[in-house]
Amino acid sequence: MAYCTLGITGVSGLIGLSVMLSIFVISLIFMLGRAMRSSTIEAWVKLELYQVLATILFVSGSMFFIGIFCSVDVTFFSDYINLGVVDPALIDPAMFPVNANMFDASSDYLVWLQNNIYGSSTQPGFYLQVKSVLMKWEVQASKSEFNCPGEFCLMMPNGWSIDPGTGFYTKLNAGYAALQALIISMLSVSSLRFMLEYASAGALLILFPIGAFFRSIPYMRGFGGALMALALTLYLALPFILFVNALVAYPVITGTPNLFAPPSTCSSDGSGACIVPIAQQAASASFVTVFLPALDFILLAAIGRDLARLFGSELDLTGLSQLV
Amino acid sequence: MNFRKLAVIAPVLVLLVLAGCLGFVQRDAGTGECIGTCPFGTHQPSPTTCACVPDQWSGDWVVLSALLLLTLIFLISIFYMLATALEMPYLQMQIKDEYAQAIVSLIFLVALASMLWSINNVLLPGLAGTFGLTLTDVPGGSHMEAAFDPISGVMDPMAFAKEYTQDITDALSHFTADLEGIALEVGAASSVSTYCQILGGVLGFSIVPCSYLNSTMGTLGLLLNALYAASIAMWAQAMLLKLAGTFMILLLPLGVLLRSLRFTRSAGGALIAIAVGFYLIYPFMVIADYSFIKSDVFMPDSATAKYGYTHVYDTAIKELSVNHDLGACTGDGDYISMLTNREAFIEPMAYWIIIVSILLPVMNLLVTLTFIRWFASAIGSEIEVGQLARVA
């Protein structure tokens, strides 16, 4: 599960080290400038020193916001969010554990989504329900019956045969299309989970310290700022947006009919009108796992761009949305 | 208004509003239960909801947004006081700029609330007759009747869009269920093989008398695939309409807040554009769909309704029963003539599936995304919605 803490990453030490290194390099250059009696180098060094100070300020501010972010208890928000909407509730109050932060909440949401789309040990999800119906259809389609109504069948077999489930072949294509959509949904949820893991581990442990380091080095400032912006976007904005997704997705998933429970017209043996409820499940899953993440990446790109400007750089995250 | 006066008024207002909802009831970290009681004038929405809210504003996006803006002005005021105390004129200038952005957001909020109020209370009642959107214009027995106020007759646009989508979804469900039943009957009938063997199996014959029905199975499969795609599109439309209110309550206040901050302005603008697009433009487009197709699909008389109301193509799918009686097919003639009838079946189904259920929902989404892109740009945010359009 993705985690949210500053303690275990050793990020402060890494950043402190990089700043000290930058000051060391600048001091050396300053001494060189003095030795050469170059006022240009001395002025440049002063400018660079300001940039190192700015980096320290940016990093301190970022750590402050990350600290606040990690200490947020989302159950507070989920209680408030449910106030105005009674039917259907935006979210199950018991969905998030007490004292869950944004990373806990977004991880829980993605696990909940996987359970609903694929299935859990207690209840089959959309994928397992559709797969079950398709298996029944395949068996029904292969069924043959023979009938010899006469009394002398052994001697003179006269009768007829029928494949009563031949019509199921016409429904199979629609069913497999739904199954394909559900598999894509499952892949999407899994990739979001891995992205969240990457954000919780890689963003703060690797991208942010490297960004802070390069942000302090002359001529590498743009690169460093972009890395810091990317790290903060992934670490702060991604879990937050996934949490908002949870609020949006909950009524969609819970409002989608179970294939075998009323008011669905599909029976557990695959008989009845199954195509529409199957289509509804595929549509809900695609909506939550493809449409919403596409929307998320648009927002992440906007946040990343603004943050990069703050750090004096440019960042284009629009390529992330092509993942969808 | 003088900045200093507002700096005093904003925190007082914030404290007054927050006084009703914070701290009186909270969740016990150990047990997870709610502890505390709500003061007079507020209530706890449910036993599991650890919060007190004043009765008059819970769930209202306008008040939530205003509350967030007031909180922001409160914080800006604190920072301005600090900048003044530390004699930092450059910071003061920056803070004044942020203050101006917060005021712009507040003005936008008031304008949006006024516009929505005008649409619901003035524009729609005034133009309902012109656009054929009165209670007498919708077919009797349809879900859309429920979108009109029984006393004033004024239409709730969001409810109308939802009910219209529900009517189309219901009709599609009936079409699909009927065709599924017909496909099973036709498949069974076309597979019946009659055989006769004599002289211990030396001589005999077998025949599949209804095998010619197999030639129609491909058409049925194609139709069911198309209806599956149409059902997906209509369900997605229903979901978007269902979530439009949620977008407004969640995304708009958040967007207004983020737009007021310098470093999240772009993201805030995008959130506002998305919320407004799906709350205002999307339902409007769905209502326009109804105006576009109502004369082709809906009719006022419900006396002989098959799918809950009468429509022009009511006889598109007949009550058929294709069967077999050993060597003979029954009901096959009606079935074949239905399937090959261009005017009564092929064109109506193409209209229902391609135009009503796939093209129009996709167009609605594309128009909404176009609006979102334009509106985001207008309020200072550049977002790329091309990927969303591709998903659509």
The C-alpha atoms of residue B250 and residue B258 are separated, in whole angstroms, by 13
Whether the pLDDT of residue B6 is over 80: the answer is: no
The C-alpha atoms of residue B265 and residue B255 are separated, in whole angstroms, by 9
**pLDDT for res A92:** 61
**pLDDT for res B111:** 87
Size of interface A-B (CB pairs under 8 A): 223
Looking at this protein, which amino acid is placed at residue B189?
Answer: A
Edge-first strand listing for the sheet containing A158-162 = A145-147, A158-162, B193-198, B203-207
Which positions in chain B touch A83 (Cβ < 8 Å)? 45, 49, 51, 53, 58-59
Q: Do A161 and B195 touch (CB under 8 A)?
A: yes
Q: Residue A126 belongs to what H/E stretch? A: helix A126-141
Q: How far is CA A216 from CA A149, A170, B206, B252, in A?
A: 92, 65, 88, 38
Q: Does A306 touch chain B (CB under 8 A)?
A: yes
Averaged over A219-237, what is the pLDDT? 85
pLDDT tens for each residue of B291-311: 888 777 665 444 555 555 445
Q: Which ranges of B260-340 would DSSP assign to H, the alpha helix?
A: 265-276, 282-297, 332-339
The C-alpha atoms of residue A230 and residue A224 are separated, in whole angstroms, by 10
First to last CA, chain A: 22
- Cα radius of gyration rounded to whole Å, chain B: 30
The C-alpha atoms of residue A123 and residue A134 are separated, in whole angstroms, by 18
Q: Please tell me which residue of chain A has the smallest CA distance to B60.
A: A84
* Closest CA of chain A from B203, distance in Å: 10
Which positions in chain A touch B195 (Cβ < 8 Å)? 157-161
To the question of pTM greater than 0.90 for the whole model, the response is no
Q: Please tell me which residue of chain B has the smallest CA distance to A322.
A: B387
Please tell me whether residue A92 adopts helix, strand or coil conformation.
coil
C-alpha closest to that of B324 among B215, B218, B212, B233: B212
Whether the pLDDT of residue B381 is over 70: the answer is: yes
Q: Could you give the angle at which helices A221-232 and A292-310 cross, rounded to 10 degrees? A: 140
Whether the pLDDT of residue B1 is over 60: the answer is: no
The minimal CB distance from A162 to the residues B60, B191, B224 is found for B191
**pLDDT for res B312:** 46
Q: Please tell me which residue of chain A has the smallest CA distance to B229.
A: A279
String of b and e for B174-186 (b: at least 16 CB within 10 Å)? bbbbbbbbbbbbb
Q: How far is CA B169 from CA A126, A161, B236, in A?
A: 20, 39, 11
CA torsion A306-A307-A312-A316 (nearest 10°) is -70
Which positions in chain B touch A298 (Cβ < 8 Å)? 270, 383-385, 387-388
The minimal CB distance from B59 to the residues A85, A274, A305 is found for A85
pLDDT tens for each residue of B304-339: 555 554 454 555 566 667 777 766 787 788 888 888
**pLDDT for res A175:** 94
Whether the pLDDT of residue B91 is over 60: the answer is: yes
pLDDT tens for each residue of A144-187: 888 877 666 766 677 888 888 888 999 999 999 999 999 999 99
Decide: A265 and B177 in contact? Cβ < 8 Å.
Answer: yes
**pLDDT for res A11:** 65
Q: Does A75 touch chain B (CB under 8 A)?
A: yes
String of b and e for B217-238 (b: at least 16 CB within 10 Å)? beebbebbbbbbbbbbbbbbbb
Distant-in-sequence, close-in-space partners of B56: CB < 8 Å, separation ≥ 6: none
pLDDT tens for each residue of A83-112: 444 444 556 655 666 667 788 888 888 988
Q: What is the 3-state secondary structure (H, E, C) of B21-81?
A: CCCCCEECCCCCCEECCCCCCEECCCCCCCCCEECCCCCCHHHHHHHHHHHHHHHHHHHHH
The C-alpha atoms of residue B245 and residue A251 are separated, in whole angstroms, by 12
pLDDT tens for each residue of B261-291: 777 888 888 888 988 899 889 998 999 898 8
Please tell me whether residue A139 adopts helix, strand or coil conformation.
helix
C-alpha closest to that of A287 among B74, B232, B301: B232
Which B residues, 179 through 218, put their C-beta within 8 Å of a C-beta on chain A?
180-181, 183-188, 190-198, 200-201, 217
* Closest CA of chain A from B263, distance in Å: 5
Q: Do B246 and A90 touch (CB under 8 A)?
A: yes
The residue with greater pLDDT, A283 or B117, is A283
Q: Which residue has the tokens 């906007």?
A: A302
Range with the largest mean pLDDT of B93-102, B235-244, B295-304 = B235-244
Q: How far is CA A170 from CA A41, A166, B105, B174, B183, in A?
A: 79, 8, 55, 17, 7
Lowest-confidence pick of A89-93, A289-293, B137-141 = A89-93
The C-alpha atoms of residue A301 and residue A318 are separated, in whole angstroms, by 6
C-alpha closest to that of A66 among A21, A15, A22: A15
Q: Give the pLDDT band (50/70/90) at residue A227.
A: confident
The C-alpha atoms of residue A229 and residue A215 are separated, in whole angstroms, by 11
The minimal CB distance from B263 to the residues A166, A168, A310 is found for A310
Decide: B216 and A172 in contact? Cβ < 8 Å.
Answer: no
The C-alpha atoms of residue B231 and residue B242 are separated, in whole angstroms, by 16
Q: Do A155 and B200 touch (CB under 8 A)?
A: yes
Which B residues, 295 through 354, put their C-beta within 8 Å of a C-beta on chain A?
324, 326
Q: What is the mean pLDDT of chain B?
A: 79
Which A residues, 253 through 292, put their C-beta within 8 Å of a C-beta on chain B?
255, 265, 273-276, 278-280, 282-284, 286-287, 290-291
Which A residues, 178 through 207, put their C-beta within 8 Å of a C-beta on chain B?
178, 181
**pLDDT for res A88:** 47
